[in-house]
């Protein structure tokens, strides 16, 4: 009993405050629960049992979970200045990776975010549109092999007209990122051992033991043991590649590249707006009004004397763009294809809309792409039901009274927002597990309660790459659905089986049938 008491010290934090939650296990808290059931499903279970506010423990750290939309808005937007930083568990001990804007805090974050924001304007995305189309052409030619041939292609079961879309889309998104971020063609569809893809996959295969150690051990211990958030060899590969590109560009300054890295180099010359009139056509701005935009302007209002990034800061932003953009968009497209395979009527409505948007050259114009309501609705409903991001986290900087709940947060207290539970709440979305894109059609969007749809977060620390991710996903899906039809096979997992992970919500595999449209 004495040993148990010693190991369980600190686990009465929530019960003493009258806040319900799952029972913690000595030392680990509720960390091991995510090995029994994948994290999003476990959080939905807790949400149903304990309600919109409950407490759990990561190791000995108490975490308050909030699913009430008014309180979400309060923390993420209204009082953002009191919750400016993300979870400390996500922070890297690596000298370079700790400089990326996901992990930066305080004025460091404010400075880098304000400098980098113009990189993701609609005008910049329009310039990258042709580059994404090049990658898409290669990808479509590769898909032809699966749909047309009755033999095995590169190890995929093409003879059964089946395809593991998760691997395929991962190759497409890696090619897009390598092209748009570093002006590097990977030829990934022909060379499956391409070092860009191999190292990207290594990065996302962090062992559960390493992840637990990162959550349990203090930062200085992690640094001593070399416990970074990604594989050392993969990190060295990418950083070395980016450094080499930077060096080449220094030596050839007359040649300009239209890619993310060049935009970071040239950022001190920029003075661009970050919003665009086309944004109103997309569901992802459902939480945004004048109040939200005013808060964002205030949050990023910092007097930047030297409007440029150091080399380490450029390396860090390039790395996070690579890592954040590779798995997330590939996973989104995989889930999208899965739902279209299971819902042929949705697939046909989308096919008709896309066909109606094709110009005389057989192309879809950049501006028109964001104005296709059903395409936007299909992507949005996929992100609701299968958001790759599992949760949002913020840290309180002061004693803070949480609305009229009677709860006072103390400095350093972490607040989490379980995205999957919020997105699949019956109160927020009737028949939540039914794939129904009509929810996000323009005439129905008013039914969505603000701050119950959070695939890209909300407030000034939302996902800065949202516009790029949507462009890549929409362009990809629109062109794929024009030429191919998807359907379930005997090897399609219904329901899906998810990986047990702490990071992104990902299926163990995603196999569907593919057929070329006549």
Residues annotated in a binding site for heme: 463
Helix-then-strand count for the chain, H and E: 20, 9
Q: How far apart are CA 125 and CA 306, in angstroms?
A: 25
Instruction: Measure CA of the first residue to CA of the last residue in the chain; give whole Å.
Output: 71
Give, for 235, the enclosing helix (H) or strand (E): helix 232-251
Binding residues, as ranges, are 463
Give, for 485, the enclosing helix (H) or strand (E): strand 484-487
- Beta strands 414-418; 61-66: pairing state: parallel
Q: Are 302 and 230 in contact (CB under 8 A)?
A: no
How far, in Å, are 128, 208, 262, 475, 479 from residue 472 at the CA level? Answer: 10, 30, 19, 5, 11
- Report CA dihedral (371, 375, 376, 379) to the nearest 10 degrees: -160
| Phi, psi at 373, each rounded to 5° | -65, -40
Beta partners for 484? 516
86: closest CA among 444, 448, 376, 457? 457
How far, in Å, are 63, 322, 497, 501 from residue 211 at the CA level? Answer: 17, 20, 21, 9
| Phi, psi at 333, each rounded to 5° | -65, -35
Q: Length of the chain, please? A: 518
Q: Are 451 and 478 in contact (CB under 8 A)?
A: no
How far, in Å, are 31, 78, 121, 182, 438 from residue 301 at the CA level? Answer: 38, 16, 18, 30, 38
Residue 310 DSSP one-character state: -
Q: Are 401 and 373 in contact (CB under 8 A)?
A: no
Q: How far apart are CA 292 and CA 281, in angstroms?
A: 18
Q: How far apart are CA 387 and CA 352, in angstroms?
A: 26
The widest CA-to-CA distance across the chain, in whole angstroms, is 78
Q: Which two tokens stand for residue 214?
A: 């990162």
């Amino acid at each position: 009993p004495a040993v148990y008491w010693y190991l369980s010290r600190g686990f009465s934090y929530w019960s003493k405050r009258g806040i319900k939650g799952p029972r913690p296990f000595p030392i680990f808290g509720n960390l091991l629960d995510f090995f029994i059931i994948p994290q999003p499903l476990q959080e939905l279970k807790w949400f149903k049992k304990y309600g919109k506010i409950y407490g759990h423990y990561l190791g000995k750290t108490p975490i308050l979970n909030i699913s009430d939309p008014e309180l979400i808005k309060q923390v993420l937007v209204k009082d953002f200045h009191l919750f400016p930083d993300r979870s400390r568990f996500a922070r890297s001990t690596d000298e370079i990776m700790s400089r990326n804007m996901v992990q930066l805090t305080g004025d460091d974050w404010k400075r880098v975010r304000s400098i980098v924001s113009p990189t993701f304007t609609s005008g910049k995305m329009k310039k990258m549109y042709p580059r994404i189309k090049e990658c898409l052409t290669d990808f479509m030619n590769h898909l032809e092999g699966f749909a047309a041939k009755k033999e095995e292609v590169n190890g995929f079961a093409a003879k059964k007209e089946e395809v593991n879309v998760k691997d395929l889309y991962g190759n497409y998104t890696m090619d897009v990122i390598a092209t748009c971020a570093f002006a590097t063609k990977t030829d990934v569809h022909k060379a499956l051992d391409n070092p860009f893809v191999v190292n990207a996959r290594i990065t996302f295969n962090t062992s559960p033991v390493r992840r637990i150690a990162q959550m349990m051990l203090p930062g200085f211990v992690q640094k001593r043991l070399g416990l970074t958030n990604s594989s050392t060899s993969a990190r060295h590969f990418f950083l070395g590649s980016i450094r080499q590109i930077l060096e080449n560009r220094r030596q050839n300054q007359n040649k300009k590249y239209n890619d993310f890295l060049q935009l970071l180099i040239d950022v001190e010359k920029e003075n661009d707006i970050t919003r665009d009139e086309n944004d109103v056509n997309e569901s992802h701005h459902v939480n945004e009004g004048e109040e939200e935009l005013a808060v964002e302007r205030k949050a990023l209002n910092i007097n930047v004397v030297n409007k440029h990034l150091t080399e380490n800061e450029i390396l860090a932003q390039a790395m996070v763009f690579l890592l954040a953009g590779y798995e997330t968009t590939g996973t989104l497209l995989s889930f999208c294809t899965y739902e279209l395979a299971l819902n042929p009527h949705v697939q046909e409505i989308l096919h008709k809309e896309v066909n109606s948007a094709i110009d005389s050259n057989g192309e879809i114009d950049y501006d028109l792409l964001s104005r296709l309501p059903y395409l936007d609705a299909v992507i949005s409903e996929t992100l609701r039901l299968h958001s790759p991001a599992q949760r949002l986290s913020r840290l309180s900087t002061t004693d803070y009274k949480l609305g009229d709940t009677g709860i006072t947060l103390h400095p350093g207290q972490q607040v989490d927002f379980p995205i999957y539970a919020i997105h699949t709440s019956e109160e927020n979305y009737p028949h939540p597990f039914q794939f129904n894109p009509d929810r996000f059609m323009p005439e129905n969007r008013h039914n969505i309660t603000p701050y119950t749809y959070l695939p890209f977060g909300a407030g000034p620390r939302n996902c800065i790459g949202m516009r790029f991710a949507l462009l890549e996903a929409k362009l990809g899906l629109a062109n794929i659905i024009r030429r191919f039809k998807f359907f379930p096979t005997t090897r399609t997992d219904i329901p899906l089986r998810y990986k047990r992970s702490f990071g992104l919500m990902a299926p163990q595999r995603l196999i569907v049938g593919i057929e070329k449209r006549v």
